[in-house]
Amino acid sequence: MDRYRDFSLGEFVWDKSFRNWVLNPTREDDETWQNWLAANPDKREMVERARQLVLSIRPANASLSNPEKRKAVERIVERLESRSSDRSENSYSPWYTGRVVRFAAMLVLLVGFGWILWLRHQQPKVIGYDQLVAAANTEMRETVNTNAQPLAIDLEDGSRITLDPGSKVSYLAHFSIKPGGDGQGTTRREVYLSGKAFFDIAKDPARPFFVYANGLVTKVLGTSFTVRSFANEQEVSVAVKTGKVAVYSREDPEATEKQSSRELTGMVIEPNQQVVFVRKTVKITKSLVPEPEVIADAGPAPHFEFDEAPVSTVFSALQSAYGIDIIYDKNVMDECPITATLTEMSLYEKLDLICKAVDASYKSIDGRIVVEGKGCRNN
């Protein structure tokens, strides 16, 4: 330490041991320097000045917070651990050179890539009429409507198909006989459709009726409905006139289960509702048909004449006539009396009028009508 006796201020500032004491003091260092200062009190002032200079002049460092550093360190170790797990495997088999392992890994990767590409290639494949008919593997009778008028086809079970121009259907000549052996095959009625057709299906709960239209399967027990499924269109739609039908996608993982079930499972649509199936995305959405009609089995022609009737009476009349759920807040809306003649109007015109009268609005959501209003207490 004797050399420090003659140190100038600048020499102290640039002395490594001195700097170490100032910048990273340890107990030993501190002891050494305190002893030296006690022995050289005349140097105390210079040492303090040098200390301040050392502390003050620093490189401008980008700030690195502790959490940020911690995260970075952890990231490295994580990466390492994911790597070393591969490494430890081949270290047990030292006769395998790294090259062999690498080659194998590459092969696995290539096969994997190939598989992914294949999957990607498969996925957007949209199922069409021709493939479906070919896959059915049984002798089919095909009817094509080349006329300008709709064509009626009577099936042997009493059902009737009204085929639009430019559409075609394939179906078994005899529903009752189907070579299956296990008896299961005889319980089905199946039709393949390309284009648009209206189906009026004879009721037979023991034998569900299936319409295959591109990717969409429609299952019914006995109803009437329209299926629209043209090969060049991206959407398939099913609209129900009477009864209930169930629809599901062929891609549905539970498709076979839904097919064999005696009940209508899947998305169930009711009169005046329709579903639209987007072929590419395999997505089914339910909505109301564009022009809901009064359902046939609702009894004698309903009359829509109201005189100071509460809104709930009006809505329930509409509900039973069209078979569409109308959702509204009874407590709020029932204060509003309605006097109106709503015959000769479409459902939407009726709703427009009612909502205008009671200062409400409606939306069609998921095949139902939702009415929102503030009530009429103040009117």
Among 38, 41, 42, 57, binds another protein (CB under 8 A): 57
Name 284's Cβ contacts closer than 8 Å, sequence gap at least 6: 216, 247, 248, 249, 267, 275, 276, 277, 278
Judged by CB under 8 A, does residue 62 bind another protein? yes
Nearest approach, Cβ of residue 29 and another protein (Å): 5
Paired with 253 in beta bridges are none
Contact (Cβ atoms closer than 8 angstroms) between residue 174 and residue 156: yes
Judged by CB under 8 A, does residue 114 bind another protein? no
Separation of alpha carbons 175 and 187, rounded Å:
8
Judged by CB under 8 A, does residue 77 bind another protein? yes
**Nearest CB to another protein, comparing residues 1 and 111:** 1
Separation of alpha carbons 236 and 224, rounded Å:
17
Among 17, 123, 260, 313, binds another protein (CB under 8 A): 17
Judged by CB under 8 A, does residue 8 bind another protein? yes
**Nearest CB to another protein, comparing residues 22 and 240:** 22
Task: Return the DSSP state at 252.
Answer: -
Nearest approach, Cβ of residue 92 and another protein (Å): 14
Among 79, 280, 303, 356, binds another protein (CB under 8 A): 79
Contact (Cβ atoms closer than 8 angstroms) between residue 358 and residue 373: yes
Binding mask 313-352 for another protein (x = CB under 8 A): ----------------------------------------
Query: In terms of Cα–Cα distance, which of 157, 151, 187 is closest to 169?
Result: 151
Judged by CB under 8 A, does residue 49 bind another protein? yes
The pair phi, psi for residue 261, each rounded to 5°, is -65, 145
Cα–Cα distance list, 33 to 7, 14, 86, 221 (Å):
14, 16, 53, 99
**Nearest CB to another protein, comparing residues 70 and 374:** 70
Nearest approach, Cβ of residue 30 and another protein (Å): 10
Separation of alpha carbons 303 and 318, rounded Å:
10
Paired with 278 in beta bridges are 235, 283
Judged by CB under 8 A, does residue 2 bind another protein? yes
Judged by CB under 8 A, does residue 56 bind another protein? yes
Name 303's Cβ contacts closer than 8 Å, sequence gap at least 6: 343
Judged by CB under 8 A, does residue 118 bind another protein? no
Among 11, 200, 204, 235, binds another protein (CB under 8 A): 11
How many residues in total does the chain contain?
379
Contact (Cβ atoms closer than 8 angstroms) between residue 278 and residue 241: no
Judged by CB under 8 A, does residue 29 bind another protein? yes
Pairing of strands 189-200, 326-327: unpaired
Among 41, 43, 44, 61, binds another protein (CB under 8 A): 61
What is the size of the binding site for another protein (CB under 8 A)?
45
**Nearest CB to another protein, comparing residues 80 and 296:** 80
Beta-carbon count within 10 A of 72 CB? 10
Task: Provide the binding-site residues for another protein, judged by CB under 8 A.
Answer: 1-3, 7-11, 13-17, 19-20, 24, 26, 28-29, 32, 35-36, 49, 52-53, 55-62, 64, 69, 72-73, 75-77, 79-81, 83-84
